Structure 1
Amino acid sequence: MSRELVNEICAAQPGAEWSDPWGGGHDCWKVAGKIFALTGTVGTHVTVKTESAEMASFLIETGVADRAPYMHASWVALPLDAAPDELAHRIRHSYRLVRTALSRKAQAALPPL
Structure 2
Amino acid sequence: MSRETVNSICASFPGAEASDPWGGGHDAWKVGGKMFACIGTVSPGVAIKTDSVETATMLIEMGVGAKAPYFHRSWVLLPFDMDPDELRERLLSSYKLIRLGLPKKVQAALPDMAER
Aligned residues: 113
**How much does 1:57 deviate?**
0.4
Structure 2 counterpart of 1:8: 8
**How much does 1:44 deviate?**
1.0
Question: Residues 1-113 of structure 1 correspond to what in structure 2 (within 5 A)?
Answer: 1-113=1-113
- Structure 1, unmatched stretches of 5+, are none
- CA deviations on 1:37-65 (whole Å, 9 max, x unpaired) are 00000141100011111000000000000
- SS of 2:98 mapped into structure 1: helix
Q: What letter corresponds to residue 83 of structure 2 in structure 1?
A: A
Give me the whole-angstrom Cα distance separating, in 1, the residues matched to 2:28 and 2:43.
12
Q: What letter corresponds to residue 81 of structure 2 in structure 1?
A: D
Give me the whole-angstrom Cα distance separating, in 2, the residues matched to 1:54 and 1:43.
23
Give me the whole-angstrom Cα distance separating, in 1, the residues matched to 2:70 and 2:98.
18
Q: What's the Cα RMSD here?
A: 0.7
**How much does 1:9 deviate?**
0.5
- Structure 2, unmatched stretches of 5+, are none
- SS of 1:24 mapped into structure 2: coil
Give me the whole-angstrom Cα distance separating, in 1, the residues matched to 2:51 and 2:24.
29
Give me the whole-angstrom Cα distance separating, in 2, the residues matched to 1:84 and 1:23.
28
